[in-house]
Amino acid sequence: MKSLPEVFTDAHRTLTRMPTPPITASFYPYAGLRHTVRRSGRTIVVRVSDIMRDAPPEALFSLACILLGKALRFRRCPQNLERPYREWSKSPRIREAGISARRERGRKRMNGTAGAHYDLDILFDGINVCYFGGELPKPKLTWSARRTYRSFGHHDPAMETIVISRTLDDGSVPLFVVEYVLYHEMLHKKLGHIYSNSDSGSPRRMVHTREFREEEKKFEKYEEAVKTLQRLSRIEKNKQRRK
């Protein structure tokens, strides 16, 4: 089997006819399936997640093409060269390996549950009793560091954390809207995700399944909350553009 630097050298020759610069490539214990590439003078320096130590050669070569495409400032690596890595990285086994690495090595920035207007800890307890029979284990809860408009919350299964956007900690945002976003993320914790085959035959991770959508609509003011969030997203987006 070829060494990692040799794989990247072969990938460089595949992507371009330019002379191959010095390339240093090594495995690194990142918190998850993460890779980096940068230039140091003429040298291209690459760090590849150690999750890939046992990856098949075609997946490693594919990743090398993707990373070198970025270093060489190509608009995008050719799709046929990207595909082996994308399909390998989406497999359930590799996704779980990434989650385990994040859980063991990663750190999550926590900004507390008590906001200026709403306390996530108190809201979780009320929603848990109302919709989950009080049986959903409480994860770590925190407000995001910054205001957002694209996404108002997310559940991080690796770090067992639910993060709610700082945008919602505002007196002008109705309580039921904050509760709905938290309820949505609590559903992610309860239901997890499933894998199904895409049209290409590769596994696709699904979180908003039919079961999830049915459960989500059980929230008392579901439609009103969704419409309010759509309006809030537009308002917050315009605010941030004007800054």
Q: Same domain, yes or no, for 71 and 135?
A: no
Q: Same domain, yes or no, for 38 and 131?
A: no
- Which of 105, 130, 164 is the C-terminal boundary of a domain? 105
* Predicted pLDDT of residue 153: 95
* Predicted pLDDT of residue 57: 96
The structure tokens listed for 68 are: 């070198």
How many residues are there in the chain? 243
- Which of 47, 70, 105 is the C-terminal boundary of a domain? 105
* Predicted pLDDT of residue 31: 85
Domain extent, residue 56, equals 4-105
* Predicted pLDDT of residue 168: 97
Q: End-to-end CA distance of the chain, in Å?
A: 53
- Which of 81, 105, 129 is the C-terminal boundary of a domain? 105
pLDDT digits (tens, 9 = 90+) for 114-146: 999 999 999 999 999 999 999 999 999 999 989
- Helix, coil or strand: residue 229: helix
Cα–Cα distance measured from residue 238 to residue 231, given in angstroms and rounded to the nearest whole number: 11
Cα–Cα distance measured from residue 185 to residue 233, given in angstroms and rounded to the nearest whole number: 18
Q: Are 141 and 121 in contact (CB under 8 A)?
A: yes
pLDDT digits (tens, 9 = 90+) for 54-68: 999 999 999 999 999
In total, how many domains does the chain have? 2
Cα–Cα distance measured from residue 146 to residue 166, given in angstroms and rounded to the nearest whole number: 6
pTM assigned to the model? 0.64
Contacts of 118 (CB under 8 A, 6+ apart): 168, 169, 175, 178
The structure tokens listed for 35 are: 């890779």
Q: Could you tell me the CATH number of the domain that includes residue 61?
A: 3.30.2010
Does 192 map to a domain? yes
* Predicted pLDDT of residue 238: 86
Q: Same domain, yes or no, for 27 and 141?
A: no
Q: Are 165 and 144 in contact (CB under 8 A)?
A: yes
What are the strands, taking DSSP E only, across 15-73? 23-28, 36-40, 43-49
H-state helical runs in the chain: 4-15, 57-71, 79-89, 92-105, 120-132, 175-191, 210-216, 222-242
Q: How far is CA 53 from CA 27, 50, 60, 239, 240, in A?
A: 7, 5, 9, 45, 42
Among candidate residues 144, 117, 149, 169, the one with its CA nearest the CA of residue 239:
149
The structure tokens listed for 123 are: 């809201």
Q: Same domain, yes or no, for 94 and 64?
A: yes
Q: Same domain, yes or no, for 191 and 139?
A: yes
Torsion sign over Cα 184, 186, 187, 189: positive
Cα–Cα distance measured from residue 11 to residue 70, given in angstroms and rounded to the nearest whole number: 12
pLDDT < 70: residue spans in the chain: 75-76, 106, 108, 194-206, 243
Does 113 map to a domain? no
Torsion sign over Cα 99, 102, 103, 105: positive
* Predicted pLDDT of residue 157: 86
Does 224 map to a domain? yes
Does 69 map to a domain? yes
Does 110 map to a domain? no
- Give the alpha-carbon dihedral of 10, 16, 19, 21, to 10 degrees: -60
Cα–Cα distance measured from residue 205 to residue 199, given in angstroms and rounded to the nearest whole number: 13
